[in-house]
Amino acid sequence: MAGMKVLVLFTMTATAAWPLGARGDDAPAGASELLIYDQPKTFRLQCELSISAPAGVILQNVHATCPLPVEWPEQKVRLIAETLPRGARSQVTAIPHTGAVLNFYIPLLPPGQTATATRVYEITRYRVRLKGDVSSLDVPQKLPRDAAAAVKMTVEERRSGGRFRDLAREIAANEEAWDAARQFFRWIRTNVSYEEGEFRGAAETLAKKVGDCEDMTALFVALCRAAGIPARNVWIENHAYPEFYMADEHGNGAWIPVQVSGPEWFGEMAEYRPIVQKGDELRDPIRRRTVRYIPQSARAAGGAPRLVVSRTILPLEPPPDDAPAAVPAASR
């Protein structure tokens, strides 16, 4: 996947399996009645944000940002520790339906010096899959806030909206929403060839019939939205996949995962890499522009700081007795 190039070393340790389809004290927050969450794996994630001042330059009022993991139904997150340089401070800002951003501030950074903020999390990820009969699943008339936000097209999608609507009708004319989403999934896997590269976007991927996991995800999301189906991107370390929203006749809703690049999963997901973000269009408060990712950016008075962000999987150890409480969910 193009973009979000960070250092990530994976050493995951499985926990005891959560009983298939169970809903107990260990159930993930916000778990859907339509999905089974099982086979959890727990690991520690170290997030580091480092700011460096150029030689001969004093930086003042340094402000840097990077994404942080938050809880989702398929992901539990517990903050274990935070380390800050003397004089620095941090603030975490939740981005509704998307994730969270770490704001790192330091008043003064001498020439050639580096300041690093470190956070360590304990994360548990679950395998997800649909259960029961899917014949009644459809897009509900009244959408929850996260689904209502995910049915709106991005700027790029609106620019080429007619092409997506035409193709959606061609692929899934007169199909119910569930079958339409499945047809979009099959069409992309059949007609788009996998090729690594910088982000092309849904329109170019459609035109050239080539793309990587991020491009294929963007195309699936664009086709779903063109058909009135809420859909969004899920960003994990070095990969992306889409989700679309459906509900049953009782009003029980769920975000249903799809793997458009890789194993042929429709309605299930066995990815254990940490979820960094859900969604695909937000505002970078530092660069003041629309971006696809929770921003990794920095600014300072006196010069241009150098920013390095890394996320590293650590061996699992028991959490300390005074560990902070779980990180709040991202207003799913």
Mind listing the pLDDT tens digit for each residue in 224-276?
A: 999 999 999 999 988 999 999 999 999 999 999 999 998 999 999 999 999 99
Rounded average pLDDT over 294-322: 83
Rounded average pLDDT over 203-215: 95
Angle among Cα 186, 192, 196 to the nearest 5 degrees reads: 130
Number of other residues whose CB lies within 10 A of the CB of residue 263: 9
For tokens 């944000």, the residue is 49
Of 267, 3, 238, nearest to 127 by C-alpha is: 267
Within 13 Å, how many C-alpha atoms sit on residue 129's CB side?
12
Query: Which of the pair, 161 or 100, is modelled with greater confidence?
Result: 100
β-bridge partners, 124: 42, 76
Helix (H, G, I), strand (E, B) or coil at 167: helix
Which of 7-11, 89-93, 171-175, 273-277 shows the lowest mean pLDDT across its residues? 7-11
Within 13 Å, how many C-alpha atoms sit on residue 83's CB side?
9
Distance CA 203, CA 154 (A): 12
User: Do 13-126+286-314 and 134-278 fold alike per CATH?
Assistant: no
Which of 7-16, 141-150, 215-224, 229-238 shows the lowest mean pLDDT across its residues? 7-16
Rounded average pLDDT over 279-300: 80
Distances (CA, A) of 98 to 84, 280, 331: 25, 8, 8
For tokens 């009244």, the residue is 142
pLDDT in tens, 167-204: 999 999 888 999 999 999 999 999 999 999 998 999 99
On whether the CB atoms of residues 171 and 187 are closer than 8 A, the answer is yes
Which residues, in sequence order, are CB contacts of 288 under 8 Å at separation 6+?
A: none
Number of other residues whose CB lies within 10 A of the CB of residue 5: 10
Distance CA 88, CA 74 (A): 33
Of 85, 44, 78, nearest to 64 by C-alpha is: 85
pLDDT band, very low/low/confident/very high, at 295 (cuts 50, 70, 90): confident
Q: CATH for 13-126+286-314?
A: 2.60.40
- Looking at CATH, the fold of the domain delimited by 134-278 is given as C8orf32 fold (3.10.620)
pLDDT given at position 287: 67
- Cα dihedral 147/148/151/154 (nearest 10): -110
Distance CA 307, CA 284 (A): 15
pLDDT given at position 205: 95
pLDDT given at position 106: 96
Distance CA 149, CA 231 (A): 9
**Domain layout of the chain by residue ranges:** 13-126+286-314, 134-278
Average pLDDT, the chain: 86
Residue type, 84: L
Which pair of tokens denotes residue 44?
């520690």
Which pair of tokens denotes residue 64?
């840097």
Distance CA 307, CA 95 (A): 22
pLDDT band, very low/low/confident/very high, at 3 (cuts 50, 70, 90): very low
Rounded average pLDDT over 213-218: 95
